[in-house]
Amino acid sequence: MESLPPELNLQIVSILDGDAPSVKNFTGEPSVEKWAHCKHQPLKALSLASRSWRTAVFPVLFRNIRLDLDCVWPDSLVSKDPQKIFHAEDFIAFLSNPALRNWTTSLFVCARDTTDSVIETPSDGFWETILPLMPRLQRISILASPEAIGHLIDIEIVMYDAWAFDMPLQAIMLEQAAGSGYDETKDLPDSRRFPSAMWRNGVLDPRKWTKLSVNEASSLKAYGTYEYFHKHPPSISRGLKDYFRVAPDFQTLTHITFVAIFPLPSVVGRFLARFSKLRLALHSLSVQLAPLPASRLLEDPERVGTAQLGDCWLELGESYRFLGEVITKQAARKGSRFRVFTSLDWGHYELFQEELSDSLSEQFAEYEWKTAGDGVWTRPDEIDSEAEYYSDTTDVAFDISDSEDPAMDAFGDD
């Protein structure tokens, strides 16, 4: 093995290399065990084989790193004392190594048992301390309770119906192209519409994010409660609504992935409405609204509880019908760049497949979208030259009332 040419060594490393568990498992139910740990670590084992293999593996060995807040936050990760801003000395020392910092492109932050500690501790200084140590960072993923995520990225998570939902963990992932960074000279928007406090965290700032993925976990438990359709789950996308009102600062965002397990149709509608301001930039949307079959969630009596699964599938069909209607209208609006929709549920459940196909195919066919594979529809560019666009003076596709939600103000075109 030592006599192999370096090019062949690199080829072997590329074959063994792969995405971090938090990326590979993002469409599954949020889980620290599955997202934060990897049973097989071939690159790590290979790096221990010899010095030459260590050299070949090193550039990718520390590409994906994890910060476990369960280990550092109880010791006051953040403090108001400027001399004690960040107490994860080992993590900072690790990133401060010049040989490592230039190879790190992905950060995964997770917290399972520290929600109270996280939300009771000021987050000022947290991101400002660690992000400058990763100049080539392309992806940030956060897995924690909804309330803890809200605190970490400085958004409001409404929790008054949280008791009705089984959502101990949710996740958000932001990605940007290689070479992108933070523009410190960028002018901040009008503080009357966008409070300056929302800019302090360093994550949802004017970075050139191109992809946003949100996993809002399972709403299955809520279907077993009285008038479940009036319940409002803890929601990351709901908390993000104020950021995406200021469209000019997020026009680099071209792709959104939304994952949830049996979300209420009203939740899906509001999710679409919150991103209406991005219609001139957004190119594609992927959704997954049913549990992965491998999770066997629907076979667990304790998780299903008193929920009527028939109601769950009916509401899922309604959500997809609404998606088809809204997406086609959004794409038909003047200046829209929306071109691709993907259902990640396609082919997973045979009994639901026909309804899923009917819910989407008819809507897309009406607007001349084409199928581009299983669960993928595309809008041909040539349609734009012939299309009769909706007027931009009225947000036809996103006219969704929020009158039933007193905790939330309007989120359409205002």
The full 3-state SS of 276-309, as one line of letters, equals HHHCCCCCEEEEECCCCHHHCHHHCHHHHCCCCH
Between these two residues, 157 and 154, which has the higher pLDDT value?
Answer: 157
Q: Which of 42-46, 116-120, 394-398 has the highest mean pLDDT?
A: 42-46
Q: What is the pLDDT of residues 160-194, one digit of tens each?
A: 899 999 899 999 999 988 766 555 444 444 443 44
Q: How much of the chain exceeds pLDDT 70, in percent?
A: 73
Q: What is the pLDDT of residues 230-270, one digit of tens each?
A: 999 999 988 887 666 654 456 678 899 999 999 998 888 88
pLDDT bracket for residue 197 (50, 70, 90): very low
Round to whole Å and give the CA distance between 224 and 313. Answer: 14
Asked if 108 and 67 touch (Cβ cutoff 8 Å), the reply is yes
In the predicted model, is pLDDT for residue 345 greater than 90? yes
- Residue 182 has φ and ψ, to the nearest 5°, of -100, 125
Average pLDDT on 378-387 reads 68
Listed in sequence order, the residues at least 6 apart from 39 whose beta carbon sits closer than 8 Å to its beta carbon are none
Asked if 107 and 141 touch (Cβ cutoff 8 Å), the reply is yes
**Least confident window among 34-43, 300-309, 348-357:** 34-43
| DSSP conformation letters of 239-266 | HTTTGGGSGGGGTT--EEEEEEES--HH
- Residue 145 has φ and ψ, to the nearest 5°, of -65, 155
- pTM score: 0.84
pLDDT bracket for residue 139 (50, 70, 90): very high
pLDDT at 71: 67
pLDDT bracket for residue 82 (50, 70, 90): very low
Asked if 25 and 64 touch (Cβ cutoff 8 Å), the reply is no
Indicate the burial class of 217 (C-beta count within 10 angstroms; 0-12, 13-18, 19 or more).
Answer: buried
Token digits for 12? 């072997």
Q: What is the pLDDT of residues 275-295, one digit of tens each?
A: 666 666 789 999 999 999 999
Amino acid, single-letter form, for residue 251: Q
